[in-house]
Every structure is written in C-alpha cells, then in structure tokens.
Structure 1
Amino acid sequence: MAAFFLFICTYCSPKKDAREETFEREVVDKDPPVAPLSPEESISKMVLPPGYRVELVASEPMVQEPVALAWDGNGRMYVAEMNTYMIDSEGSNQFAPTSRIKLLEDTNGDGKMDKYTIFVDSLVLPRVVLPLGDQVLVQETNLKHIWSYRDTNGDDKADEKKMVFRNEEIDLRNLEHQNGGLMWNRDNWIYPTRDNLRYKYKNGVLEADTMIDNMTGQWGITNDDYGRLYFSEAGPGLPAVQIQQMPAYGALNFKDQFTPEFAVPWPIIGTTDAQGGEKALRPEDNTLNHFTSGCGQSIYRGDRMPKDMVGDYFIAEPVGRIIKRGKIKNKEGKIVIDNVYEGKDWLASADFNFRPINTYTGPDGALYIVDMYHGIIQESEWSGPGTYLGSIIEQKELYKNRGMGRIYRVVHEDHELDKQRPNMLDEPASKLVTYLQHPNGWWRDNAQTLLVLRNDKSVIPTLQKIALGKKATLKKKPNDVTRVHALWTLEGLGAMNKEVLFKALADADPQIRKTAVWISEMYTKQNDQEVIEKLSDLKNDPSPDVRLQLSLSLRSNDTEQAKQVVKDLLAAYPNDEVMQSSYKSFVETHRRIAEERERVKNISPEDRALIAKGAVIYNQLCTNCHGPQGKGIQVGGRMPAPPLAGSPRLRGTDKILPIEIMMHGLQGPIDGKEYADMMPSMAGQSDEWIAAVLSYVRNSSDLGNKASVIRPEEVKEVRDRIELIPGGATLQYLEVHKGYRTTQRNWADEK
C-alpha cells in the first residue's frame, strides 16, 4: 500500500494559482497589421495569466532568425540561426552556406545578453546544437553528418571541427521533415527527433543504435524527470506523439493520449496566413481552429515558477502565435495530456511576426522562448505560386519581415530568478555530484552528462550511496529524482553492479524500481539468469509503470523464464491498455518483418533494392501523415491524410494515376471524406525517388498492397507528358468516374 501511495503522489498536481482563472481571451484584430514591432512593443502585445511577465534576453542584431538554443555547463548560450530561411515564398537561395551558431553571454549579470561571437560560420540552416563538455555538436540541413566544434584558444570561436557521426547519404526531405533536435536523455543515449537511430557518445564519436521503428517527431524534443521522451508532429497537427514508451521499444500512440481540446489553439489575432486557408480558421474571428505547426515542446522542470507549473507540458504554435500549456497525467500507466485552460492559452501574442518555435527550462529557473520573428513560417512546398499561402505572402509582403529574432524568458512575480552562474566545466566531479540534488532539472541533467563524459571513477562510491537513498555528501536525503540520476550516472560510468541493482529493484519507490528494471537490460541481454530471477519477483508489482517496464525489458529475451514472466503479466493484467497494446504491436511488427523478408525472396534484386529504398523514404517522410502501416494517423481527433493500406489507387494496374498524384500533389475530398492536410507536389524529387516510394506503397505487406513496382523510366515518361504548374503548386483533385484527375486538365482521359 505504501508503494502504491508513493506512485500516486508522484503524479499529484499542485493546486493551480487562483489568479490564473481571472484572465480572459480577447481577439484584438481579425486582420492584424504585419509591420514588425520592436522587442518592447512585441512584449506589450503578449497576454499571459496574472503574475507572469516576459523579459527580453536578446534580440536583433545580436541574434537573427534563431531556431534553437542550448547552454553549456558554464551557462553560456549557443544559438542556431537559419538566416536564409524563406526569404520569399519560393524559398530562393535557401541553402546558401551563410547561417551560423552564435555564442551569447551576459557579462554583467543583469539577465540580458551583452556579448556575442560567431562561434561557427558558413553553415547551411543549422538545426541541432548540443553542448557536450567543451565541445558543441551541430547538424545542418540536408546532411546526416554530425560535427563537433571546439574552441581551443579561448577566443569564443570554434577552431576545431571533427566529424562525430558519418552518414554520406544526402537528406532529400523537406527541411521541416528532417531531424529537429538532439537530447542527452537520462538513459545516457542521445536521441534525435526523427528516423530510427539513437547514439552513445564514446571515445569522441557517436555510436549509433538502430531502433525497430522510426521516430516521427519533427521540431523539438523534451523529457521529464525520469527520462520519458516527448515528441510532436507539426504536419498532422499532433502536439504530442511517442509519449507512452521509449522509442527503442517501438512506436506506440493512442487516439486519446491528449484530449481533443489540447490540439485546439486560441489565438488573439486573425491567422489569415495559415496554410489551410478559410477551412483552418474560425469564421467569426479568422483565428486558427486547429494545430498546424506545433513545435519546440518542453516540460518545465525548473524551480523559479509556481509549483503547479512544474512538470507541465508547453508547446509553441508559431502560426497561431501562441504557447499552449498542458497537464501531464499518468492514468494507471497511460500518459494523457490535458488542457490547463479552457478556451484560451497560456501565452498568446497580438504581434503578427511573433513566431515561437522552441521553449526551454533555463539555468536560472525561467522558461525561455525562441522567437524566430519572421514573416513567413511555412516551407516553399506549401507556399509557392498558385497556393493560397503564396498569395497571402505576396499580398501582405511578408517576405520583407526577416533578419530579426528574439529570445525571451518568462518569469513570475512571486519568484526570484536564480542568480548563481553555472561553472560546471571548471568544477571537480565531487562538486558535480551535489548538483544531482539541485531543484532545477537543467542543473541535474548537465551534472549527469558531465560526470559521464569525464568518466571520473572517484565519485562511484558516493553515487552508490545516493542511489540507495543515503545522504552521502548531499545536504539532505536524496529524493527519487536525485536517486534516478545517480543510478543512471553509475550506468553511464560503467559502474553499475548487482548489489546496487538488486537493492534498487526491491526499493519502496516505484520510480526507483522502474529505473532498475530499465538498467537491468545490460544484464538480461547477456541472459544473466540471476538478474532474470530477481526481475521475476516484480511481475505482481503494484505500479503499472514498473510492470510495463518489466514487460518491455524482458519481451525480447529468449530464456523460458523471461518468456513466462511476460506471459504471466499479459494474463494477469488484461485491462492494462498500454502493456497489452505495446505487446500486440511488438508481435505484429516482428510478424510483418518476417513476412516481408519471405515475400521479397521471389522479387528480382533490382526490384528488391527499389522497394527497400522506398521503404526508407516512406518511414522517414510519409509516416508523418499516413502512419507507419499506411492506416493513417490515429492520434487525436483529426486524420491529416487518407490511409494508403488497401487504397484502390495503389493496388490497381493503373500506374499513371499514382505518378500523377506524386507530381501534382493532392488535396480535397477523397472517397467522400475531407482530410486536414494537403500533400505537396513531389515533382522536385528524382524519377528514381518517386519510383521507389510508389513501388514500396504499392508492393508492401506492411501496407497490405500487392501490385507491380513502378520503374524510374515509367516516372520519366509521365513527367515528360504532363505540364507541371510552375513551382510545383498543389492542385485540387476531384472524384471523376473511375478515379481522380486534376481540376486543371484531365490529361489521362484525354490521352
């Protein structure tokens, strides 16, 4: 009973400040002016609950087109700038190597940045910035390499560049669909937002681990105190995805993992520049009626805001000019995110150019906002000539609003910011251990990372004591969060042993037991019978989190005892939705993999290679809207795109129609049903690229389709016979007789 009580209290929500009920949403302008405002004017246009206020940290010309930031262990801020992003509606000269990583500092302690240097110059739209000790990892658009930059002479400019992960493949995806973040997580793996790789940093390089499913997050990644990751997908308008289990165990989502209201923004100005046009807007006030570009999510884990804000989920919506706040609830092991406010958002701006695209908990305990402050916030595939958005951009001259950018912090009147400047890079490991107890998660995370990077074995005895709940060198007895950090730091140092592990498995706190089960995989992968025996004792654990982790950690183990534990768990808890669904998905995934391997045995090597290439493209790009098995996205209340599994347009003998759809794009009703998004034209891709992805979706057991492959020369033949709209504009398709044809010309019928 005590363990169960602790589990419930872990997720108790503090009482909300009554003052927050007094603020109301008011739409101030249905068709707002688009002229840029000064930072001070822009702040005056922001509406938050009483008690909160926004402070300026940096603005142009110090920062321009900021998209991401990160602090090193000494609290210095690295900012990634995309200064060639959408300078016009067609994305002209977008990939010129002129973007930068800047290093910002507050030298006088007044809370505003007053010094900057260009840490790295001549980059192509940098999208990832992750400090690791005295180096900074950077990833650019269109490249899958990851580089390390280091300043070796103290002038705040990188003079050393090393490749830490090599992948020669060019990333041909739209820049919105490429990796949008890197995070060193509690389990000492570095996770990106997309694809099926995660990394361990060892001996100066990133060693990749291939996961069974692709992660489908887009821009931004965050975690909670215990290492659960949270992703979001802007394309289908999903503010939270892949939040039920770690991605290494496979993709798992539920329709109701966030409430329908949480995907509804409440802007305070008209959002006429929404890509969806009138259908995306409320008729009464022109405001955005659904999420279309959610990104930059974070869980507030600081200590200088109201207690009821700690552990809440914040996500930016740059088209709506809002930041939404959600309450994370654990319902018997299932994570659900609910609205904190009804019919309004935590932050809403009446400044047309306010474009929040990332949020963070800062070392001072405030919540930071990266505001790109840009006129155009949609890629050219959706904003070119002939599109609704393209016409709005030209009409309002939004292309003129660029070259700016702001970084803000949100503070609260009842709390003073932490004035202690971090100095972790210059402090001994013994001091870093004490930060594992810091009330601000930023300090705890960085202390763990630096301890693992330094690999200083002298702190192992202290960490062992802390992991087991002893005070050791700390000021007070460690709580479960500090102990989880200690356990994972031991794992990262290669210092976990069975004595500590077994005591943790028997601990009174469910989060300690769950963490110990997770860490035990280092033994179960070696079929350590003693460890598996200890794990077997947890199959009746009162915590759903512990039981789920037990099933996840043992289900790939081939020993009879491990198999029996998983079988017993599934039989004993038939109503555990997460465990049952996760195992069902696990079995189905392996069945499909085996079936696919068997099926392709009878396909020519040439066709097999084409389908394999198409599978990679589909999993990296198309799953965003069509789902990993082609059944559509089933998270939330809106399906962004039609299912591909069993589609008559893919299973038939007609090869021209699917090629035409790829060339022109698609929007409008399909089989009598409306979908939220439009598919942009893929005419800019190569004939082989189009042939590969079509061959996969037409001829994959994953999607249940069995049709012939489409070869590159067949794509070329269709390309040569049709007149594409300049800029690859998307056309609306209508149902006509046996299929779909463009409204502009029914060329296939004519031929």
Structure 2
Amino acid sequence: MKLYIYIAMAALVFTLYQCQTYKKTNTGTTVVPDTTGSPVINAAEAIRLMKVEEGFEVKLVAAEPLVTAPVALTFDNKGRIWVVEMMGYMPDVYGKGEDEPNGKIVILEDKNGDGVADERKVFLDSLVLPRAICLIDGGILVAESPNLWYYEIHNDKPGKRILVDSKYADEGNVEHQPNGLLRAMDNWIYNAKSTKRYRKKGLQWIIEETHFRGQWGISQDDYGRLYYNDNSTNLMGDYFAPGYGATNPHQRTVEGFSERTVKDNRVYPARPTPGVNRGYMPGTLDDSLRLRNFTAACGPIIYRGDLFGDAYRFNAFVAEPSANLIKRDILVENGLVVTGKQAYQGKEFLASTDERFRPVSLYNGLDGALYVVDMYRGIIQHKTYVTPYLKNVIEQRKLSEPLGCGRIYKVLPKNKAAAKVKFNQDAKSLVALLGDANGQVRDMAQQMLVDSHHNAAVPYLRETLKSGSPLQVMHAMWVLEGLSALQTNEVLALLKSESWPVRMQALSVIPSVMNGSSYLYYVKALRDMVSQNDARAAVYIAFAAHYIRPFDGAAAQRLLLELVKKYPDDPYVASAVLSNLAYREEAFAEEVLALKPDTNLVVNKQLKSLVNRIRSSRKNQDPLMLAKEFPKGAALFASSCQTCHATDGNGIKSLAPPLNKSEWVTGNKEKLISIVLYGLTGPVKINGYVYEAPEISADMPGIAHSEEISDEDVAQVLSFIRGSWQNNAGKINAAEVAKVRQRLKGRQKAFTIEELGAD
C-alpha cells in the first residue's frame, strides 16, 4: 500500500472515532467503548492535523527517535538545542516506575542547515524526572528533584558537578515543583512554582527569596517583567521588576505581582476533548464535548521575535496540552498596568485534532520563530489527581503507550525565512547585537558578554549608554552590572532619561550598585524624582527605599513618608511602601495615621490589614510540635497542599483559599474528609467571604483515587491542618476516613458547597 493512501486512511479512521467515540447523556458525558484507540501519527501527518493561524505554518525541528518525552529546552550560542527529556513521567495510568533513572539532557544539532535537527548527543543520562535547565558561565544548571545541580561543560561532556540547592524542589509532586530556570534581564535566574531566585558570582551561588510565581513555565518581556500562569489561568504577570518587593515576610501579597494579565480563560479545541480529568463534570465540556476553559495551561511565552510582524509584538502564547492547542493573547500597557485579551473568539492560534499533541513549553527562537515542545503522549495528568473517569478514558482510548515519542516544532510566517544569527566572541559585535530586533538574540548577546567576563566590551557598552536605542541601552546597562562595571554617574544619568523604560531599568538596578559611598547620590536622585512628580517612578522609589535603610534609616523613612503624603490612595505605591516595613509595621501605621488621618485612604487600609494579620499570626500553634505528632501529615501537607494553600495556611493568590481559621477545616469532620478525598468545586464561602475564580482556582483536586495515599495518611494530614496555625480542632483517625470513603464509594465528581451544606 502506498504511503499516502495509508496516511489518508489513518486520518479517516481518526476523524471517525472523534465522531463516534463519545456522546452526551442526561447524566453527563459517557465514554463509549471503541476499538480504534488513539494511534501514534508520524510527525509529518501530525502537522497536517494542526490548524494554525492563516499566513503561518508549522515546521518540524525534531521528532522521535531523535528526541523523546521533551518537557523543556534552551538554545546555546551555536544555535543548538539542549532538551530535557522526562521519560519517567507517568509510565502508565498508575504512575508505576516513575522513579526510574531514565531521564536525559540531550543536545540536538542541525548539521546540514535545513532547519531540522539531524544529530543527537546525550549530555547527561540516568536522571530521575529532570525538569529544567539553564546554560550559564560555561556550565549548565540541571533541576532534578529535589536538587539543583551545576555541571561544568567540557567539549559537550559533563565535568565537575556542584550542588547549588538541595531543596530546589523538595516539596510538591511532579506537577507542583519548581521549574523554568529563566535567565532574566537582571542577570538573576527565576523559576515558576518557587519563591527562590539564583545567581552565579564567580564560584559562588547566591540564593534569594522572591515572589511565588506560577506553576509550569515562566518568561519575560522586553523590559524584564515576568509572566507565568497556573493550570486554570490563561496568563499572569508582574507589573514591576522581578527583584523588588519580596522583602517583608508578613506581607501576604504585593500589589502589581501575580496579577491576572488575561482574565478570559475560554479555550476553543479543534476536537472533542472528553479525556480531561474532570470531563464528567457539568460545565467542563460544551455540547460538542470540547473543553470550555483552561485546565492545563502552561509554558507561557511573550513573543519577542522580529519574524511575525508588528501585530504580534507584545503578544503572549500559552500552551494547553489537555486541549491540544496554543492560545494567542494580545497585551497592552496602560501606565504601569499590563492587561490583555484573547486574539480570537471561537478559534485558536494553533489547534490540533491529534489527541497526542501535547504542547507543554513554548520558546522564542534565535531565528524569530515560535518553538513548541510537544511531549507527544496520551497521559498528561499526574497520578496524584487522576480520577477514575480519566483512568477509564485512558484505558479505553489506549493512551498509556507508546512512551518513546516526542516532537519539537517551530511556527513561522509562510514564505518567510527564519535565519539564525551567528554569534562570535568579538566584543564590539556582541554589543551591537544588544540592539537586535529579536529579544532572544539580545538576551544571548547579554549572557555571552557576562559569561565571558568580557571587559574589552566595557568601552563599547559605555558608549551605548549614551547613544544606543532604549532597548540597547537597557541591555548594555545590565551587562555592565553583570561585569561589576556599572558606575554611579551612569545610573544617575539614566534616571534622568526621557524614556520611561530606561528610567525603569535604572531604578531596578539601584539595589545592585548602591554602596556606602554612593547611597547619598541615589537618595538625592530619588527625592528629586518624587518632587518632580514622576508618578510611574513612585512605586520603584518605594521599593528602592528598602535598600537605602542599611546605610541611612532616617533617609529611607523620609522617602517613604514623602511617597505616602503624595500618593496615599495609590494601591501600588502603598503596597511597595509596606514591603519596607518588616517588623516595623505597627509603628509606621501610627505615623502614617498622624500624617494622613483619613482611614479610608488606601495606604491606611493596607496598613491596618497588615497589622491585624501580624497580630493574629502571633497566636499560631507551634508547627514543629505538630510535625512531630503527625509526621506523615506534615509531609503530605508539604507535598500536596502547601503549594496552593501556603506554609502559613492563608492561601495563595490565584490558587487556593485559606485553611487557617476556615470553618470547613475546623468544623464537621465528615465534610472535611469528603472534600479532601473527592475535591471541591468553587465558589467557597469562608468566614463570610466568597472565594471564586479568578481569585482562586475553580477546582481543588481530590486524592481518593491515589493508590499511594492511605486512610492513615489522610487522617494525619487533616489532623495536622486542624491543629495548625490558629486552628484548634479535634484529631481525625483512619477509621473515620475509611467510613467516609466507604459511604462515598464510586463517587467521581468533586463536591460543591451546596452539596456539602445539604448534608
């Protein structure tokens, strides 16, 4: 049989199963047994099953056996692709064998220049569920839970291995562990699902606390602001520089960080998608059995290339592997605030009818194309949360195998060449590339200059600060910072720039360059900006005051009070001021109230809320004592609960409501057990306040279907939670859990508050 006939027949069978495999009934979605399964389709045919925005095309970069189970990648300055292969993820519907050391870091190279990789080189193997990499300073960071390692690279082979962080990902399961390792404009490395950032200074690794961000995937825009999301959220991001604002441990949220950039979570799959974890729930699927809203959003990227055209500048692309699609969002900036909307209604930038198309990460390419990491597999949901419904779909659709697939694609305009930029070590050439139209090229040039400690570039960089374009000036400034060569007079000059983005970068670099001999100049410059009514700078000035305090506490205090006096009703300025106040909140609140007695002002409201929270937290139980009494419970809380509900039990913005002082935690035991076993669909009312999407995720997954979590484990984690923080409720035992489990045996769907309230 000729190949094209076989492909046509396979496509016909594939189309037929979509029409016949599923049907809607009065009681929800029913999976009708079929015999066709979901066949693996070769990469060329898989591309034909993709519907991409008109004027664009999808091209193959690599496919099995050259790459298998890819989850992340990065580019080196030779144009090669370094890929993370997570072969161990969900070997079957039960996740058995997940801890096998079969993960790899591989290097893919296009030797003949046709745009398709043709050589595979294994750099590292025998890894357990590797999840992220970052090339830096002649080596590579590799995230292999729970550790973050740094390997020296010698002729594409690993050299000395250094442990950077033994607790990089020591909590959460595979879906809820840190990842990303984004090397940002400010020369720090940031992560999703993490509160840590990293930086290499000589032989030393520095680890600092930063804001908690997202779940899987993280990217930056042209100004170094970060973007991310969680599985049910289209796009989130920061309005301000990533290094600022995470300095007050008492401050639960800082305005302008983890903001909902795009609030519309509707998706438009090209095929029926009943094989999602909660496909049985009313409202999850529409009448054509297609997913309504994001359930596995991940891998967001801000497009920064020069290939797509002006209409795509400051656009975001978001992957949704459960629905086999990639969404496009159009972002706009209004003052300090970034918001966005979906580019289309009723369709997507790219959507496939191939059930195994699983885009999990997106990247800007050095050639201006959009790169897509396709894990290409049937199972995408981790075992911790797989419902019996989804297990049935997986088994009937024959989605468990094969596991040895994977693809990398790139999307680009038709009839438009995607040419890679050639990098060399010439200082002048690299500085010129800091002004390239492609943001990925600018980033690479910056990183090469910093990594090579290219002091020969300093004269060219200084000249660029005076005469370059705004983007080139910003990158040049951060290269000088990375080389420890940025001078006070240069920063002061940039603070007076007519370009706001340049001033923004100059304000952002102050903590790195200010010292005991220069701080007075910065204090004067910042006070001048306040007096000149530079409103956009006000938030940054408030953040910067924190770094002035060690040199001159009185000057920092005066600066904060000046800002409060001028911007008392600005929520971003108020929140930035509060980020300075660790362990001084109550005294400052009294001072501000004397200065601005109107209690309805935003700054007074925020201060009152913060002070009340601090006073309340003083009543918390000792967590160490509870961990000793309920060791399994404390461990399970850390791995499955803490990542959404926070260590202090007060919940995390956009993810989950508080457990601390929640009547659902301290009240009826059976209701609480029911929620933990089978999950909860919002909204939920706690202490008179209604939490609902998008403030929190719409659903909390249950753990009743996990074979690894026993009744004793559930009892311990609930006892731990019921006695933690300011909760003081009775313990729960395994027999009570077993009783509820037996009563609800066979249940699949999550509870709603109405159901529980009716009990």
TM more than 0.5: yes
Partner residue of 2:487 out of 492, 497, 502: 497
- The residue type equivalent to 1:209 in the other structure is E
1:97 equivalenced with 2:101 (yes/no): yes
User: Whole-Å Cα distance in 2 between the matches of residues 603 and 626 of structure 1?
Assistant: 18
Q: How far apart are 1:185 and its partner, in Å? A: 0.9
Partner residue of 1:77 out of 76, 81, 88: 81
Aligned to 1:238: 233
1:533 equivalenced with 2:524 (yes/no): yes
Q: How far apart are 1:641 and its partner, in Å? A: 5.5
1:348-747 aligned at under 5 Å gives the runs 348-383=351-386, 387-413=388-414, 415-420=416-421, 422-424=422-424, 427-468=425-466, 470=467, 478-522=468-512, 528-539=519-530, 544-554=535-545, 557-558=548-549, 559-573=553-567, 576-580=570-574, 583=577, 591=611, 594-595=614-615, 598-599=618-619, 603=622, 606-607=625-626, 622=641, 625-626=644-645, 635=654, 643-652=658-667, 658=672, 661-662=675-676, 664-667=677-680, 676-681=698-703, 684=708, 691=716, 695=720, 698-700=723-725, 705-707=726-728, 732-733=750-751
User: Whole-Å Cα distance in 1 between the matches of residues 326 and 628 of structure 2?
Assistant: 44
Moved more, 26-35 or 557-566: 26-35
CA distance 1:244–1:728, change in 2 (3 Å): farther
What SS class does the counterpart of residue 198 from structure 1 fall into? strand
User: Whole-Å Cα distance in 2 between the matches of residues 645 and 160 of structure 1?
Assistant: 47
What SS class does the counterpart of residue 483 from structure 1 fall into? helix
CA distance 1:231–1:611, change in 2 (3 Å): farther
What SS class does the counterpart of residue 110 from structure 1 fall into? coil
User: Whole-Å Cα distance in 1 between the matches of residues 718 and 524 of structure 2?
Assistant: 46
- Do the aligned residues in 2 keep the contact of 1:302 with 1:365 (CA within 8 Å)? yes
Aligned to 1:136: 140
- The residue type equivalent to 1:240 in the other structure is L
User: Whole-Å Cα distance in 2 between the matches of residues 249 and 571 of structure 1?
Assistant: 20
- Do the aligned residues in 1 keep the contact of 2:307 with 2:369 (CA within 8 Å)? yes
Q: How far apart are 1:330 and its partner, in Å? A: 1.4
1:538-557 Cα offsets, whole Å, 9 max, x none, are 12566654222222222565
- Do the aligned residues in 2 keep the contact of 1:199 with 1:208 (CA within 8 Å)? yes
What SS class does the counterpart of residue 536 from structure 1 fall into? helix
What SS class does the counterpart of residue 434 from structure 2 fall into? helix
User: Whole-Å Cα distance in 1 between the matches of residues 283 and 754 of structure 2?
Assistant: 26
Aligned to 1:322: 325
Q: How far apart are 1:170 and its partner, in Å? A: 7.0
1:61-72 aligned at under 5 Å gives the runs 61-72=65-76
CA distance 1:735–1:218, change in 2 (3 Å): closer
- The residue type equivalent to 1:532 in the other structure is V
User: Percent of aligned pairs with the same residue?
Assistant: 29
1:109-134 Cα offsets, whole Å, 9 max, x none, are 11110111111111111100111143
User: Whole-Å Cα distance in 2 between the matches of residues 115 and 579 of structure 1?
Assistant: 53
User: Whole-Å Cα distance in 1 between the matches of residues 738 and 262 of structure 2?
Assistant: 47
CA distance 1:293–1:415, change in 2 (3 Å): same
Q: How far apart are 1:378 and its partner, in Å? A: 0.5
User: Whole-Å Cα distance in 1 between the matches of residues 243 and 564 of structure 2?
Assistant: 21
Q: How far apart are 1:590 and its partner, in Å? A: 6.4
1:302-340 Cα offsets, whole Å, 9 max, x none, are 112212212211110111111111112112211112112
Aligned to 2:302: 299
- The residue type equivalent to 2:224 in the other structure is G
1:34-49 aligned at under 5 Å gives the runs 34-49=38-53
User: Whole-Å Cα distance in 2 between the matches of residues 613 and 547 of structure 1?
Assistant: 47
Aligned to 1:166: 165
Partner residue of 2:148 out of 140, 146, 149: 146
Aligned to 1:11: none
- Do the aligned residues in 2 keep the contact of 1:612 with 1:696 (CA within 8 Å)? no
Aligned to 1:4: none
Partner residue of 1:116 out of 117, 120, 127: 120
User: Whole-Å Cα distance in 1 between the matches of residues 149 and 670 of structure 2?
Assistant: 43
User: Whole-Å Cα distance in 2 between the matches of residues 736 and 52 of structure 1?
Assistant: 47
- Do the aligned residues in 1 keep the contact of 2:474 with 2:502 (CA within 8 Å)? yes
- TM-score normalised to structure 2 length: 0.80
Q: How far apart are 1:688 and its partner, in Å? A: 8.4
Aligned to 2:591: none
User: Whole-Å Cα distance in 2 between the matches of residues 614 and 450 of structure 1?
Assistant: 47
1:316-367 Cα offsets, whole Å, 9 max, x none, are 0111111111112112211112112122211111111111111111111111
What SS class does the counterpart of residue 47 from structure 2 fall into? helix
- The residue type equivalent to 1:224 in the other structure is D
User: Whole-Å Cα distance in 2 between the matches of residues 466 and 709 of structure 1?
Assistant: 66
- The residue type equivalent to 1:398 in the other structure is L
- Do the aligned residues in 2 keep the contact of 1:301 with 1:361 (CA within 8 Å)? yes
Aligned to 1:20: none
CA distance 1:504–1:419, change in 2 (3 Å): closer
1:627-646 Cα offsets, whole Å, 9 max, x none, are 787676765xxxx7555354
User: Whole-Å Cα distance in 2 between the matches of residues 627 and 253 of structure 1?
Assistant: 18
- Do the aligned residues in 2 keep the contact of 1:650 with 1:698 (CA within 8 Å)? no
Aligned to 2:216: 219
1:249 equivalenced with 2:237 (yes/no): no
Aligned to 1:5: none
Q: How far apart are 1:725 and its partner, in Å? A: 11
CA distance 1:669–1:597, change in 2 (3 Å): closer
- TM-score normalised to structure 1 length: 0.81
Aligned to 1:193: 192
- How much is the aligned-residue C-alpha RMSD, in angstroms? 3.8
Moved more, 393-402 or 521-530: 521-530
1:358-414 Cα offsets, whole Å, 9 max, x none, are 111111111110111111110112225xx2111111111111243111110111125
- Do the aligned residues in 2 keep the contact of 1:625 with 1:641 (CA within 8 Å)? yes
Q: How far apart are 1:585 and its partner, in Å? A: 7.5
Q: How far apart are 1:248 and its partner, in Å? A: 4.5
Aligned to 1:203: 202
User: Whole-Å Cα distance in 1 between the matches of residues 756 and 300 of structure 2?
Assistant: 44
1:524-564 Cα offsets, whole Å, 9 max, x none, are 57592321111111125666542222222225654334333
Unaligned runs of 5+ in 2: 1-14, 22-36, 247-252, 586-606
Structure with the larger RCO, 1 or 2 (CA within 8 Å, 6+ apart):
1
User: Whole-Å Cα distance in 2 between the matches of residues 708 and 305 of structure 1?
Assistant: 58
Q: How far apart are 1:579 and its partner, in Å? A: 3.2
- The residue type equivalent to 1:274 in the other structure is V
CA distance 1:608–1:65, change in 2 (3 Å): closer
- The residue type equivalent to 1:232 in the other structure is N
Q: How far apart are 1:448 and its partner, in Å? A: 1.3
CA distance 1:458–1:232, change in 2 (3 Å): same
User: Whole-Å Cα distance in 2 between the matches of residues 148 and 166 of structure 1?
Assistant: 10
